[in-house]
Structures are given as structure tokens and as C-alpha cells.
């Protein structure tokens, strides 16, 4: 809960880096497995939370009472779905237990998805108070969708992001309902960037649409996109393509060119010590 408190107030860049570290350490999978076991999700009668999953009074926690343990597990799972949805989705989709996957799907949709969707759409409504130059955002709770309209000179683009009933286990659908002055290839690149932020980087819908807007702004300013990730603004460190290839002359993000060095095939062994034979005499 302390980790979630920390992540909830951080910018997308730091949240992305922290989530990557958690994934590499394989911590999340163990946590989610414990949570579904505590809530007995895989049984014929799962232990549903007796109070709102959004709130939990930790000061009243009593380890000897099952309802407190189930309530804590439900609250932690809800916060994971809200703040680190890509990690939960990755754990869910990678499970080889089809019965468990179906049980988690049904349980999540019934008790958690509606709250997570409301949180996502509320964040869009809150973002309406901010001034996004060239872009407006509208959220519809009834249709469970967000509409973003980008307009600049002769260019008009309208993007609709639809949330499935069991969000965030299932990915969002992104559709372009209006496209004036933009090629099909350019739109497909932007679609990939929006889906990447939402589906794999634990970003919110607002994060994804803001990054798309920044990409569009830079392209119309004449800045070349990276030929590796197809972004102008890097999804992780928010940098611009600055590294120029001496052969093709295209520019790339430094982060896209970084490759982790391979480990040595065998661990290095200490040098053997030299001993002198000493006779027993």
C-alpha cells in the first residue's frame, strides 16, 4: 500500500521505470497469486468483499478476522488494477490455468472493473479543466469511452477509446472516427503508440492521449520520428530522436539503440593458487 501511495502521485516516466523494475524482479506475479488465493477466486464460491474495495481502514485491521484479510486483499487488488494494470493483465494472460483465468475474469468484472473504469473516466473529466492546446477530451460514463479531438490548421483527427466491461484485464479499443489531412500509415503509427502506453506501460488514457498529442505537435513542427519505435517522443524517458545514423542519416532515440550486454558464457573463476610440494620429512 505504501508503494501504491508512492506511485499514484508520480509522473508517467517514473511510474514506467518503477513498473519495469517490479516486472523484472518478478514480484507482482507472487502478489497477485496470493491475493486471488486469499479471496478464493478459483472456487465455486469466491469470497467477495463485504465493503467498498476503494477504501480500507488499515488501523482497524485484525489478522484474526477473515473479513479483514479478504477486505485488505480486495483493496490491494483494486489498487493494482488502477495503478499497475499492465502488470495485472500480463499475469492474467500468461496463466496456463484456464479455469483460474475465467474465474479471475468474472470476479474482476463483477467487483472491480466498474470502479476502475469510473476512475479512468473521472481522470479525463478532471483533465478537461487543463488547457490542452489543439486537443479537447470528452468522457462518457454511459458508453464507457473517451473521445479526443485534435485540430490544427487543416488537420482534424477524432480518436475514440472504448473500455471493455472487464477493463483492465481486456485491452481498450482505439478507433479513429475522423481523419482529415493524415495518411493511413501515420494513423497506424499513432494507434500503436496509444495502445502501447495503455496496454503495456501502465499509463492512463489521459497519459496516452497527451503523449499522442505531443507526438502530433512535434511531427507538424517538422521533427522526424524514430524509425525503431515510430514515436517522436520516447514512451519511456520522453526524449526526442537525437542520435543520427551515419549510414541512413535517420535520427533515433538513444534508449531505442541501447542493448544490454550479454553475460559471459561461464562465470569467471579465480586464478588457481600455486602451491609448493613439501616433503613430510
Hey, which bits of the chain come out as E strands? 135-140, 145-152, 155-162, 173-180, 243-244, 251-252
Q: What is the pLDDT of residue 176?
A: 93
Q: Return d(Cα 190, Cα 230) in angstroms, integer.
A: 8
**Rounded Cα–Cα distance for residues 42 and 163 (Å):** 25
| pLDDT band, residue 107 (cuts 50/70/90) | very high
With cut-offs at 50, 70 and 90, classify the pLDDT of residue 279: very low
Q: What is the CA radius of gyration of the chain?
A: 24
Q: pLDDT confidence of 146, banded at 50, 70, 90?
A: very high
Using a cut of 0.85, tell me whether the model's pTM lies above it.
no
Q: Are 102 and 40 in contact (CB under 8 A)?
A: no
pLDDT at 276 over 50: no
Q: Which long-range contacts (CB under 8 A, 24 or more apart) does 57-60 make?
A: 58/1
Please report, rounded to a whole number, the percentage of residues in the chain having pLDDT higher than 90: 36
Range with the poorest average pLDDT among 42-51, 78-87, 238-247:
238-247
Across 31-46, average pLDDT? 93
Amino acid at each position: 500500500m505504501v508503494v501504491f501511495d508512492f506511485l499514484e502521485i508520480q509522473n508517467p516516466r517514473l511510474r514506467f521505470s518503477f513498473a519495469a523494475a517490479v516486472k523484472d524482479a518478478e514480484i507482482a506475479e507472487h502478489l497477485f497469486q496470493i491475493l486471488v488465493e486469499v479471496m478464493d477466486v478459483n472456487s465455486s464460491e469466491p469470497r467477495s468483499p463485504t465493503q467498498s474495495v476503494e477504501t480500507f481502514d488499515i488501523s482497524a485491521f485484525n489478522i484474526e478476522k477473515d473479513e479483514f484479510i479478504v477486505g485488505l486483499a480486495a483493496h490491494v487488488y483494486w489498487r493494482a488494477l488502477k495503478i499497475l494494470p499492465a502488470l495485472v493483465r500480463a499475469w492474467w494472460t500468461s496463466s496456463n490455468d484456464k479455469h483460474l483465468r475465467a474465474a479471475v475474469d468474472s470476479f474482476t468484472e463483477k467487483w472491480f472493473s466498474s470502479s476502475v473504469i469510473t476512475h479512468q473516466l473521472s481522470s479525463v473529466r478532471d483533465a478537461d479543466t487543463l488547457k490542452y492546446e489543439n486537443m479537447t477530451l470528452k468522457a462518457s460514463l454511459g458508453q464507457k469511452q473517451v473521445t479526443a479531438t485534435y485540430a490544427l490548421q487543416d488537420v482534424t483527427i477524432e480518436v475514440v477509446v472504448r473500455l471493455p466491461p472487464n477493463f483492465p484485464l481486456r485491452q481498450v479499443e482505439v478507433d479513429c472516427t475522423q481523419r482529415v489531412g493524415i495518411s493511413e500509415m501515420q494513423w497506424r503509427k499513432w494507434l500503436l503508440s496509444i495502445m502501447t502506453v495503455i496496454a503495456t506501460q501502465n499509463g492512463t488514457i489521459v497519459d496516452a492521449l497527451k503523449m499522442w498529442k505531443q507526438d502530433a505537435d512535434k511531427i507538424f513542427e517538422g521533427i522526424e520520428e524514430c524509425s525503431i519505435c515510430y514515436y517522436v517522443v520516447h514512451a519511456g524517458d520522453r526524449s526526442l530522436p537525437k542520435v543520427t545514423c551515419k549510414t541512413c542519416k535517420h535520427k533515433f532515440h538513444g534508449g531505442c539503440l541501447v542493448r544490454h550486454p550479454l553475460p559471459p558464457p561461464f562465470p569467471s573463476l579465480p586464478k588457481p593458487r600455486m602451491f609448493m610440494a613439501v616433503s613430510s620429512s
